[in-house]
Amino acid sequence: MADRRLQVFHTVAKLLSFTKAADTLHMTQPAVTFQVKQLEEQFNTRLFDRTHNRISLTEAGMVVYEYSERIISLYTEMSNRVGEMTGDLRGYLLIGASTTIAEYMLPRVLGDFKMKYPDVQVRLHVGNTDKIVHMIEDNSIDLGLVEGLITNKSLATLKCCMDSMVVIAEPDHPLGAHEGVTAQELLDYPFVSREEGSGTREVTMEYLHQVGVDANDLHITMELGSPEAVKGAVEGGLGVAIVSETTVLKELALGTLLARPLNPPLARPYSFVYQKQKFRSLVMDEFLEFAKDRCSRDILSVPVRREG
């Protein structure tokens, strides 16, 4: 970036936090403050109002932010156009991924992408599906990879692959004698659920509704914030759960859990999500194609041993 001060200012203005901007830019907070102060001295005016540990843009700050958005967008577009001509892929990509995807799918994809394109810097933010969608909406990240369907019509979605969902239980559980598990049968046992805002929880509740089971009839014993926590609770005999098939490969191999398909089956899409109106960089386009190929070819084609 020709003017580092403008990039730093833009990040602070977007996040309205010097601390969050420092984390995003991998800088110290004093360094961020210094860059913004230099820009304020250049324009001979304050760009932020600072009151009660909060900051807001001044009138001049809003003007600078508006132009900085355009300048940074044009700079990115210029870099990508030149990269297309020279075949040189470099730059930054801010990705957000839901917890399940970030923990079980993306590490291998990002590792292989980095090997192929060592000059591309990828930064990953992890949260549940709701959080990642909100980050896309406020332009905190370039690209999200989430579970389930996206209802915001201002966002573009691109299906990456399908993910099968299974019921898991401890190895000696009565469900081990079943070939498949119906939604009605889930009501007979304590149930371990993901938290509100989780894509896994959303698709589970929608599935129950579609097959005519009232989700309020589930005997939910715990609501947990990650796949690992859910698996640990099930291994500890606290109930059964519905999880992504890809999250239990290790436990099935070790025999610490059993898994059974739902009847009727349940599968959900893994989807890329991004702003419709936002310029798609060459780096983003290349990652989309690369990740989609890897997801469908490798990640979800791994056979799962379901016997307890």
Q: Domains in the chain, start-ordered, CATH in brackets?
A: 2-83 (1.10.10.10), 86-159+268-294 (3.40.190.10), 162-266 (3.40.190.10)
pLDDT range class, residue 297, cuts 50, 70, 90: low
Across 8-22, 120-134, 195-209, 276-290, least confident range: 276-290
Which secondary structure element, helix H or strand E, spans residue 192, and what is its range? Answer: strand 190-194
CB count within 10 Å of CB 57 equals 19
Concatenated DSSP letters of 18-73:
HHHHHHHHT--HHHHHHHHHHHHHHHTS-SEEEETTEEEE-HHHHHHHHHHHHHHH
Mean pLDDT for the chain?
A: 88
3-state secondary structure of 222: strand
**Which residues on neighbouring strands pair with residue 184, listed in sequence order?**
none
Q: In angstroms, how far is CA 176 from the centroid of its own chain? A: 33
Q: Which residue bears the tokens 């001044």? A: 58
3-state secondary structure of 169: strand
Which pLDDT tens digit goes with each residue over 197-227?
888 999 999 999 999 999 999 999 999 999 9
Q: Which residue bears the tokens 């940074």? A: 72
The pair of three-digit structure tokens given for residue 216, joined into one six-digit string: 């309020």
pLDDT range class, residue 300, cuts 50, 70, 90: very low
Separation between Cα atoms, residue 294 and residue 13, nearest integer Å: 36
Separation between Cα atoms, residue 222 and residue 80, nearest integer Å: 48
Which secondary structure element, helix H or strand E, spans residue 157, and what is its range? Answer: strand 155-169
Residues above pLDDT 90, as percent of the chain: 54
Q: Which residue bears the tokens 């079980």? A: 104
**Which residues on neighbouring strands pair with residue 161, listed in sequence order?**
270
DSSP 194: E
Q: Greater confidence, 112 or 308?
A: 112
Asked if residue 99 lies in contact with residue 130, where contact means CB atoms within 8 angstroms, the answer is no
Query: How confident is the model over 153-165, as a mean pLDDT?
Result: 87
**Which residues on neighbouring strands pair with residue 156, listed in sequence order?**
274
Q: What are phi and psi of 151, to 5 degrees?
A: -95, -15
Q: What is the pLDDT of residue 123?
A: 87
Across 31-40, 211-220, 284-293, least confident range: 284-293
Separation between Cα atoms, residue 143 and residue 284, nearest integer Å: 8
**The length of the chain, given as a count of residues:** 308
CA atoms within 13 A on the CB side of 95: 26
Q: What is the pLDDT of residue 222?
A: 95
Which pLDDT tens digit goes with each residue over 54-109?
899 999 999 999 999 889 888 877 877 777 677 677 778 889 998 888 988 888 89
Q: Which residue bears the tokens 């989309």? A: 288
With b meaning 16 or more CB within 10 Å and e meaning fewer, what string describes 129-157? bbbbbbbbeeebbbbbbbbbebeeeebbb
